[in-house]
Structure 1
Amino acid sequence: MNPLQHLAPELEAGLAALGLPTQPLAGQLLDYLALLDRWNKTYNLTAIRDPREMLHKHLLDSLSMWRAVRPGRLADLGTGPGLPGIPLALAVPGLEVTLVESNGKKCRFMREVVRKLGLANARVLESRAEAVDEPGAYDQLTARAMDTLAGILEVGGHLLAPGGRLLAMKGLRPDAEIAALPPGWAVESVQPLSVPGLEGERHLVTITRDPAQAA
């Protein structure tokens, strides 16, 4: 039995609030959370220690963007212990996720998650984002807590296919970062996100190549 089973009702309520099916997703997410909680005691994968806090600040926060994610290939840059990539791989049918992380212990943890959960649509790539030699291979990039928008594009923009999108999760609306976008990129949308059980602002910024500057 999952030691975090007592959190199931709260997780299911959060998933329903986000418009996601509760089963089998809640059970899979709880299995991931139990692994994260266990490994975190030894390897310090996240500063958040309380599993209930992880449920809201990691799982539901990651899934708050699910409606913007389309089937296809997605690279999650600086994913840490797999956020938002692993929850999205579980929740979005037809999504193929590459979890990009340079920290070895976090990569070992994610490989264990992929193995234990049978995540056939996720792979772990131990690398810095700028060193990933797969130009134009991805329809979408995500980055949850990695850098400024310009910084993310600098290290990962080469990975996007023509017509691809960066889905960047931010707290407050990042108007200064948007104003500092490098040439060749344009904001497609800035959407407020609502995370069940969390207060404070969250936004999803979607960026594409600027068609006005396309070659």
Structure 2
Amino acid sequence: MNPLSHLLPELEAGLVALGLPPRPLAGQLLDYLVLLDRWNRTYNLTAVRDPREMVAKHLLDSLSMWRQVRPGTLADLGTGPGLPGIPLALAVPGLQVTLVESIAKKTRFLREAVRKLGLDNVRVLESRAEAVDEPGAFDQVTARAMDTLAGILAVGGHLLAPEGRLLAMKGQRPDAEIAAMPPGWRVQALETLAVPGLDGDRHLVTITRDPAKPA
């Protein structure tokens, strides 16, 4: 019996609202949440302490971008405890996720989560994003709470394949950050995300290389 099973109805309703099949995904996400809650009490992996809050602020927030994620390779930069990478790895068929995190206590948790959840489509790299020596290896790069758009591109842009896309999750509409992007990149899409159970602005910025304005 999952000790957080009382959260299952709320999680399933949130998944349905996002257009995702609730089963078996909700059960898998709750297994991940149990691990995160247990480790968080000792290692302080996230400032959100209440598992009920984690349902909206972590799980459903991470999955609010799932429609824009395509099968293929994805690097999740500064993933922390695996957000959004682990929920996306569970939800998107055909997705191969690399979790990039430089803090050792977080990568220890990530490896344990990958092992316990049987995530054979996920690997963990203990590294800073700029030190990952895999240029052009990823169809998609994502970052949920890492840096400005220019900062993300500076440390992770080299990881994207020529036609690859940066999927950057933001709170308020990041017009100033978009204006400050370096040459060689363009905004392909800017979308408002609706997260069940979460108030406040959420946006997804999709960025690709701009062949008309090379860096």
Q: TM-score, normalised by structure 1?
A: 0.99
Q: Which amino acid aligns with 2:5?
A: Q
Tell me by how many angstroms 1:53 deviates: 0.3
- Tell me which residue corresponds to 2:47: 47
- Tell me which residue corresponds to 1:69: 69
- Tell me which residue corresponds to 1:179: 179
Equivalent residues in 2 for 1:105-116 (5 A)?
Answer: 105-116=105-116
- Tell me which residue corresponds to 1:195: 195
For the 8 Å contact 2:183–2:214, the answer to whether it is kept is no
Tell me by how many angstroms 1:213 deviates: 2.5
Q: Which amino acid aligns with 2:166?
A: L
Q: Which amino acid aligns with 2:25?
A: L
For the 8 Å contact 2:64–2:193, the answer to whether it is kept is yes
- Tell me which residue corresponds to 2:127: 127
Deviations 1:157-185 (A, max 9, x none): 00000000000000000000000000000
Equivalent residues in 2 for 1:1-215 (5 A)?
Answer: 1-214=1-214
In structure 2, stretches of 5+ residues that fail to align are none
Query: Residue 60 of structure 1 aligns to a residue in which SS?
Result: helix
In structure 1, stretches of 5+ residues that fail to align are none
For 1:96 and 1:47, how far apart are their aligned partners in 2?
27
Would you identify which runs of 4 or more consecutive aligned residues in structure 1 move more than 4 Å? Answer: none
For 1:102 and 1:59, how far apart are their aligned partners in 2?
22
Deviations 1:67-98 (A, max 9, x none): 00000000000000000000000000000000
For 1:214 and 1:80, how far apart are their aligned partners in 2?
32
For 1:146 and 1:28, how far apart are their aligned partners in 2?
26
Q: Which amino acid aligns with 1:137?
A: A
For 1:7 and 1:18, how far apart are their aligned partners in 2?
17
**Once superposed, what is the RMSD of the aligned Cα atoms?**
0.8
Deviations 1:33-85 (A, max 9, x none): 00000000000000000000011000000000000000000000000000000
Question: What's the % identity of the aligned pairs?
Answer: 83
Total equivalences in the alignment: 215
